[in-house]
Amino acid sequence: MRKAIQHLKKNDPVLAAIIERVGPYKINYGVPGFEHLAESIVYQQLNGKAAATIFARLEALAGEPVTPKGILGITEAQMRTAGLSKQKLSYIRDLAEKTHDGTVRFESLPHMSDDEVIEHLTQIKGIGTWTAHMFLMFALRRPNILPTGDYGVQMAIKKAYKKRKLPKPAQMMKLAKCWEPYRSVACWYLWRSLDIKTL
């Protein structure tokens, strides 16, 4: 990790200042399996506290850890009582069905390229590129992901690089060129920079 941080500091003075202020890199990784992705669906467009409550209720219904069999063993009505929207419960059920029938193979993901993982996961209802990017970063621990659709990263770039508007994906790709092959690390620091009032 020292190598990644040295690379970023050397190649981008703006990021170097952020790294100094944020301090040590402390990322929390998840297990790259079914439960992590089901949890990601619950967390989509919700604040952390609300999502954690809903997911805990889902665990109470489906069993811990949450498995495809556990999800398929409860009714949609039960899932609604956990606080899931109709849309999200349909996504989680689709994920469970596709994992159960072998369409989605979590054990194969570590051997796939980043693009192959995105293609594999986005065949699930409700899983878009953003969720696939988060899975690559936080479950598969891929070091060079740039989630161009992430509002937090866009906001942090706008603020730190003094842009008038939120950057478009093409602008982000250009800016992040010098971060390669550690764009995931750079994004973690950008997210953290939003928590620091002085930046």
**Domain residue spans of the chain:** 2-27+146-193, 34-138
What architecture does CATH give domain 34-138? Orthogonal Bundle (1.10)
Q: Which amino acid is at 8?
A: L
What architecture does CATH give domain 2-27+146-193? Orthogonal Bundle (1.10)
What is the DSSP annotation of 65-117? S--HHHHHTS-HHHHHHTT--HHHHHHHHHHHHHHHTTSS-GGGGGGS-HHHH
- pTM of this prediction exceeds 0.85: yes
199 pLDDT band, cuts 50/70/90, is very low
For the segment 136-169, what is each residue's pLDDT rounded down to a tens digit? 999 999 999 999 999 999 999 999 999 999 999 9
